[in-house]
Structure 1
Amino acid sequence: MNKLPDRIRIKDIARLADVSVGTVDRVIHGRSGVSESSKKRVEEILKQLDYQPNMYASALASNKRYSFACLLPQHLEGEYWTAVEAGISEAVVTYSDFNISVKTSYYDPYNYQSFVDASNTIIEAQPDGVMAAPTVAQYTKEFTGKLNELGIPYIYIDSTIKEVPPLAFFGQNSHQSGYFAARMLMLLAGSENEIVVFRKIHEGIIGSNQQENREKGFRQYMEEHHPSCHILELNLHAEPDNKDTAMLDDFFRQHPTVNSGITFNSKAYILGEYLQAHQHEGFKLIGYDLLERNVACLKQGSISFLLAQQPELQGFNGIKTLCDHLIFKKEVTQVNYMPIDLLTVETIDYYSNK
């Protein structure tokens, strides 16, 4: 074989296979109009050269439109999922040349039927790809089973369901995150023999796989390293409710010596702002995610540590991966753990989560 240039072009392949450039182009893109003998010669040359066509140029030339669906929990502006949506929007702009569109649907995380209804609407629309924040396995399986039947690839963000593996997952190793959070909390608590876990819960539903798995990791660490430490629990209302203040008043009245606690959801500010208002200055609190109100509490001292997980990057990479898989025909990495970032008042101003 004659010496080839570093960058293999279609005309080089045509010369080696003794066919026209048009024939090579048709073989590469799976079009008809090529004899079996010519097709075989071209494919042999492609295999020998390990040739990868310029998918970027091919995708631009195809003018195909791609519709993606996202399924996220309902939320208020400024909450955790707002950052995920910002990442999705950035990805849409980045890949706008390839005619992608994203329609986002929402479900009530404390109402499983809401997830079913929203997922069925997505199935009816039959998008090219789906990115979803899954709910419990039972209802997620129903959704992904229908997607599999239709041949629609799907991506999980924030949490994953191991029984129904996706094309890709972006999020923290939530069990490890909880394990690490326990270590950090006990560094703060020192020799204290009781701590408290704060939850946001509605009719027995926590509303997030991540939170449940974080707590499992947390409790594993405590069992292994501080088995004698008593873990108290306080379940606050999942929905905005002024009854939380009364519940917290009662808790601290009944447990005046508790000085350390953790919440596994992104609304640590509810506790931080309460601690400020009631002058519980010595309480050590760990929470999750860089919401503005959480950061304000961190800077004012009512939250000791925040654990962050780069939600914008999760949203962006989820859409990017659908593009890589569907448009550019690239192999994608299935499990993509986000870093477990520990932020303090001294480091928060120097941290970028993008």
Structure 2
Amino acid sequence: MRENKSERIRIKDIALKAGVSVGTVDRVIHGRTGVSEASRKKVEEILKQMNYQPNMYASALASNKKYNLACLLPLHTQEDYWMDIEAGMKHAVSTYKDFNIRLNILYYDQYEPGAFSEAGKEMLETMPDGVIMAPSSEDETKDTALQLKERNVPFIFIDSNLKSLNPLSFYGQNSHSSGYFAARILSLMADKNDSVVIFRLIYGGRLGSNQQRNREEGFREYIKNNCPGIKLYELDFYVKKPEDNERIMKEFFEKHPEINCGITFNSKAYIIGEYMQKTGRKGFKMMGYDLLRRNVKCLKEGTIDFIIAQQPTEQGQSCIECLFEHLILKKDVKPYNYMPITLISKENIDFYLDAHVRTNNI
């Protein structure tokens, strides 16, 4: 093991070289007051000459400061993708429990206009030291982001990114590239002149997340540029009731029996997979996102062909680690952190799930 050079440089040695007391050196290293400008400059010059790097980890432990982190996520059920995001965050908070990190998770209805802003106001009242947000539209997210910047509170975007708001960092897939990749795979599954249906879940006239919109844009771009013979249809679900979804699909496929390929850019691919199983329809080629339990079941039963996974547990864990490094260890952090675009089929799903559990141990 290599010896840490900073640990070999004693504060006593620095004080001796600078001609000041040990207490003065300690105050300069930790940015405290009570040091003359001349002494500070002299100590800083010696620190630079000796290439001294303070042990921020030990200093943070010794400070006993409490850190209040806040997270703003869409409302979700126990089976949703966001549960793995939360699991990753809670695991990271537990890992850093000695640093007095507290995490407060708040929720907003992503299909309700103004819900993000209201949840943002509630979040700001908690006086957070750092924030993780799954952003809504740019207009709705902007006000909360600006208020955080005014308070000098760092924030991270998770799942979808709004570059114009300049977050400290982002964790998620490149959604446009993900949709582009999905189109390439689906075009290999379909004949050149096949039609493809895009299944979309819409509530209150809203499509949902920025990720879904960006994925669809990437998908359409690939089809337009590379498979002009493929005709795209859209099928929107406006309600949550399963029987309404079934009726909408029944009417659509009665009108378009020739369509045998479909994709959804949200995590609800199981709605289509379960319908295909219930109606006994064979040979429909289907792609979706996220390893929800019901999606995995459809994948194994053959009513979903491929799922694109996003490593949500890793995303959640990495966001906490990023704030830890920025706030506590005072390190520079990477602004863009793109998750792999992982294609899952029934042939590799068990291996992927086993590896996921071993890696995260959650």
Q: Distance in 2 between the 1:86 and 1:263 partners?
A: 25
CA distance in 2, matches of 1:72, 1:316: 15
**Structure 1 residue aligned with 2:310:** 309
CA contact (8 A) 1:69 1:104 kept: yes
| Deviation, structure 1 residue 34 | 2.4
Residue 255 of structure 1 is matched in structure 2 by 256
Q: Once the 2 structures are TM-superposed, how far is the Cα of residue 6 of structure 1 from its aligned partner?
A: 7.9
Q: CA deviation at 1:320?
A: 1.1
**Partners of 1:31 and 1:194 in 2: CA distance:** 67
Question: How far apart are 1:196 and its partner, in Å?
Answer: 0.5
Q: How does 1:124-273 map to 2 (within 5 A)?
A: 124-237=125-238, 239-273=240-274
Structure 1 residue 7: Cα displacement: 3.5
For residues 73 and 5 of structure 1, the distance between their equivalents in structure 2, rounded to whole angstroms, comes to 44
Unaligned runs of 5+ in 2: none
| Counterpart residue identity of residue 80, structure 1 | Y
Distance 1:322 1:286 in 2: 34
What is the distance in 2 between the residues matched to 1:238 and 1:342? 29
Structure 1 residue identity aligned to 2:228: P
2:280 aligned residue: 279
Cα offset for 1:37? 2.6
> C-alpha separation between the residues in 2 aligned to 1:235 and 1:320?
38
Separation in structure 2 between the aligned mates of residue 5 and residue 277 of structure 1, nearest angstrom: 66
Separation (CA, whole Å) in 1 of partners of 2:310 and 2:273: 20
One-letter amino acid matched to 2:151? L
Distance in structure 2 (CA, Å) of the matches to 1:148 and 1:82: 28
Measured after TM superposition, the shift of residue 292 of structure 1 is: 1.0
Deviation of the 1:5 alpha carbon:
8.3
Determine if the alignment matches structure 1 residue 120 to structure 2 residue 121.
yes
Q: What CA distance in whole angstroms lies between the structure 2 residues aligned with 1:157 and 1:107?
A: 15
Question: CA–CA distance in 2 between the matches of 1:5 and 1:338?
Answer: 34
Deviates more, 1:272-281 or 1:260-269: 272-281
Contact 1:198 1:234 in 2 (8 A): yes
| Structure-1 separation of matches of 2:251 and 2:99 | 57
Residue 182 of structure 1: SS of its match in structure 2? helix
CA distance in 2, matches of 1:7, 1:290: 49
Measured after TM superposition, the shift of residue 265 of structure 1 is 0.3
Residue 9 of structure 2 aligns with an amino acid whose one-letter code is I
Note if contact 1:85-1:312 (Cα within 8 Å) is conserved in structure 2: yes
The aligned residue for residue 349 of structure 2 is 348
* Percent of pairs with identical residues: 54
Q: Is the 8 A contact 1:144 1:164 kept in 2?
A: yes
Q: May I ask how many residue pairs the two structures share in their alignment?
A: 351
Counterparts of 2:53 and 2:7, CA distance in 1: 13
Distance, in Å, in 1 between the alignment partners of 2:248 and 2:36 is 78
Distance 1:12 1:331 in 2: 28
Contact 1:200 1:236 in 2 (8 A): yes
Say whether 1:45 aligns with 2:41. Answer: no
Residue 257 of structure 1: how far off its partner (Å): 0.9
Structure 1 range deviating more: 223-232 or 190-199: 190-199
Q: Distance in 1 between matches of 2:49 and 2:112?
A: 55
Q: Is the 8 A contact 1:306 1:344 kept in 2?
A: yes
| DSSP-derived class of the 1:202 partner | coil
Q: For residue 127 of structure 1, report the CA deviation from its aligned partner.
A: 0.8
Q: Distance in 1 between matches of 2:274 and 2:305?
A: 13
Per-residue CA deviations over 1:207-259 (Å, capped at 9, x if unaligned) read 11000000000000000001121101100135344200000111111111111
Contact conserved, 1:112 with 1:135, CA < 8 A, in 2?
A: no
**Could you tell me which amino acid in structure 1 is paired with residue 312 of structure 2?**
P
- The one-letter amino acid of 2:236's match is N
Q: 2-side partners of 1:322 and 1:78: how far apart? A: 27
Amino acid at match of 1:163: S
Partner of 2:78: 77
Counterpart code for 1:135: S
**RMSD of aligned residue pairs (Cα, Å):** 1.5
Counterparts of 1:89-108 in structure 2, within 5 Å, are: 89-108=90-109
Cα gap change, 1:228 to 1:34, in 2 (>3 Å): same
The amino acid across from 1:112 in the alignment is P
Give the secondary-structure state (helix, strand or coil) at the position aligned to 2:254.
helix
SS where residue 151 of structure 1 aligns? coil
Scaled by the length of structure 1, what TM-score is found?
A: 0.96
Please state how far the C-alpha of 1:24 moved relative to its aligned partner. 1.2
Checking the alignment, whether the CA contact within 8 Å between 1:195 and 1:260 is kept in structure 2 is yes
Letter of the 2:201 counterpart: K
Indicate if the aligned counterparts of 2:6 and 2:53 stay in contact, CA closer than 8 A.
no
TM-score in terms of structure 2 length: 0.94
Instruction: Name the aligned partner's letter for residue 218 of structure 2.
Output: G
Alpha-carbon distance between aligned partners in 2 of 1:346 and 1:277, rounded to the nearest angstrom? 23
Provide, for residues 177-196 of structure 1, a one-character-per-residue CA deviation record: whole Å limited to 9, x for no partner: 00000000111113342111
What's the secondary structure of 1:163's corresponding residue?
A: helix
What is the CA distance between 1:9 and its match in structure 2? 3.2
